[in-house]
Amino acid sequence: MSNFDRSACPVANILDLLGDKWTLLIVRDLILGKERYGEFASSPEGIPTNILADRLKRLEASGIVAKMAYCDKPLRYQYELTDKGKDLQIILEAMVLWADKHIPGTRVFSRYR
């Protein structure tokens, strides 16, 4: 048996990994084509830079995001979803469609229709 933070419940484990206010927004931005730190920081939700850095590290450590240097001086990175991360797209699409149906005023990007 594996070691779990709380339980072997799949929902609890997904929430332990992705269930904060910011992580799925970063995954959303990666799905929508953002790659660089500044692009994530400029998202309309206004993620604080310290939290952005922390969440990118967590996503990388969990194998959801890969980090690659694109500039040596100064050292700068871009990010992309791994296959594991790309598998989250169907979950985000389901959330978007649910919100479109049940939360008036939300805006669905054409990518999800």
- pLDDT tens-place string over residues 37-68: 999 999 999 999 999 999 999 999 999 999 99
Residue 14 lies in a domain: yes
| Number of structural domains found in the chain | 1
Residue 4's contacts (CB-CB under 8 Å, 6 or more residues apart) are 12, 13
Tell me the CATH number at 22.
Answer: 1.10.10.10
Residue 90 lies in a domain: yes
The average confidence (pLDDT) of the chain is 92
Report the alpha-carbon distance of residue 4 to residue 16 in Å, rounded. 9
Can you give the pTM of this predicted structure? Answer: 0.89
Residue 36 lies in a domain: yes
Percent of the chain with pLDDT over 70: 94
- Considering only CA atoms, which of 76, 57, 54 is closest in space to residue 66? 57
Q: At residue 57, what is the residue type?
A: K
Residue 66 lies in a domain: yes
Whether the pLDDT of residue 70 is over 60: the answer is yes
Residue 95's contacts (CB-CB under 8 Å, 6 or more residues apart) are 24
Residue 111 lies in a domain: no
Residue 4 lies in a domain: no
**Sorting pLDDT into bands at 50, 70 and 90, what band is 111?**
low
Whether the pLDDT of residue 112 is over 90: the answer is no
74 exposure class (CB count in 10 Å sphere: 0-12, 13-18, 19+): exposed
Residue 56 lies in a domain: yes
Q: What's the pLDDT score for residue 108?
A: 80
Residue 2 lies in a domain: no
State which residues form the domain around 64.
10-104
